[in-house]
Each structure stands twice: as C-alpha cells, then as structure tokens.
Amino acid sequence: MLSARDQATSLLHLDSSHSGDSITRRLSARFAEVWKERHGASEHRYRDLVAEPVPPISAAYCALGRRVERNGYVPPAKVDALIENGAEEREWALTLPLIEQFRDAGTVLIGAPMYNFSVSASLKAWIDRVTFPGAYSDPDTGQSLLRGKRIVVVTARGGAYGPGAPREGFDFQEPYLRAYFANLGIADDDVEFVNAEMTLADLVPHLARFREMAAESLAAAREAVTELASR
C-alpha cells in the first residue's frame, strides 16, 4: 500500500470509450496532462479498459466472494487462505492487483461515455471485478478505507441530459456512479462530474441546429477538467 503522501498525489486514469478519438479520451487526457505538470508522471497509472479489458467475473469469482462474506468480510491480505481451487486462484490473481491499484489512488479519473443511458460494458466489467467483498473496509471498525478518495468522471453524451432537458430522466449514468461510489464510502462531495453534451450534433443531420450548444459544452468541459486537475 502507498504511503498517505503518495496516495494523495497518485492518479489512476481509466478510459472506457470504444472510439479511439473520443471526446472522453481527449478530455481525460487533458486532465492527466495538467495533473502530471503539477505532480509529475511517476504516480500516474493508466489503463485503457477497451484495449486492455478487465475479464468479466466468473462463477469462481462469485464462489470465492461468497466464502469471504461467510467468514466475516476478511481483508484482501487473508483471502488466499480461503481459496479452494485453481479457478478461484486465477480469479483472485486477476482481481487483487486491480483492488490495490484502486485503493491506493488518491484520485481516480474515469473517462465514461454514455452508452444507452448508462456506462459502457468495459467500465462495468472493471466495476464488477474491483467490488470484492471486504476489500475496502477496515476489518476492526468496519469503516470505509476509501474515505477522502477523489473521483473525477468525464462523460460525453450524444444528447442533452442536464437539469431541465427533455431527457433529464434518461440519465442513468451519473446517478448510478454516484450511488456506486457512495456505497463504497466515498463522500458525494468527493465525486465530481464533467459532462460534454450534444456530442452527436456534428454527426447526425437532425441535430445540426445544436452544433453551437455542443461546441460551448465541449469548451466548458475542457475548461472544467483543466481547473479540476490544477487543484
């Protein structure tokens, strides 16, 4: 585990867009660029969840997780003692490094395009695997080990889903991610979203009238990620 000082100045950077030149990739790269100018590149950890996908969880993963639950949510360091077969051993070998990487990061930056009103399958696979029973709880107090962790989510939406928009209620992305991180013990104030909207305006003819709105939203998002990375 990293020291408290190293955790405070460490960045886990995840991209989950299936488009190589996506807006979320460009915006998350801007955040990382500014962050590294301030903190240096040594504690920047990057994973492209599409180019290097996290394997979906399996029956062996679930069996091991249930055994951990039955034994009182043992910490990750003691999970090895509960493994019963090779399949579970392989699942744990895939899972533990991701848990440690997530746990040790002071800031987690997620490029998360909206797919069908929610997150991509690549991001969901990462979420499912790192959310292992007992991984983020103090075994003595039960309190979350993730308190104080900062989450920055950069999204791109083809339409408009902000307050007052006709499709405001179709946004299952931000509410889902906020609920997910809250369940892990991360304060809502420590979860920040930057949303670029109407990103299909330059592509879809019937949205052409929203091109100015899209350009303004993208410019505001770029300014926002620059400001957030400078903190």
User: What's the pLDDT tens digit per position in 74-102?
Assistant: 999 999 999 999 999 999 999 999 999 99
What is the CA angle 18-11-139, rounded to 5? 105
pLDDT at residue 7, as a whole number: 53
Distance of alpha carbon 10 from alpha carbon 8, whole angstroms: 6
Instruction: Say yes or no to pLDDT of 24 above 60.
Output: yes
Rounded Cα gap, residues 68 and 134, in angstroms: 8
Alpha-carbon distance 49 to 172, whole Å?
A: 20
Domains of the chain, each with CATH number or no CATH: 4-229 (3.40.50.360)
Q: How far, in whole angstroms, is CA 89 from its chain's centroid? A: 25
Q: Is 163 exposed, middle or buried (0-12, 13-18, 19+ CB in 10 A)?
A: exposed
142: left (phi over 0), alpha (psi -120 to 50) or beta: left
117 known member of a binding site: yes
Pull the structure tokens for residue 50: 């599409």
The alpha carbon torsion through 7, 91, 129, 144 (nearest 10 deg) reads: -50
Beta-sheet strands, E only, within 146-223: 150-156, 191-196
User: How confident is the model over 173-214, as pLDDT tens digits?
Assistant: 999 999 999 999 999 999 999 999 999 999 999 999 999 999
**114 annotated ligand-binding residue:** yes
For residues 217 and 176, the answer to whether their CB atoms sit within 8 Å is no
Annotated binding residue 198? no
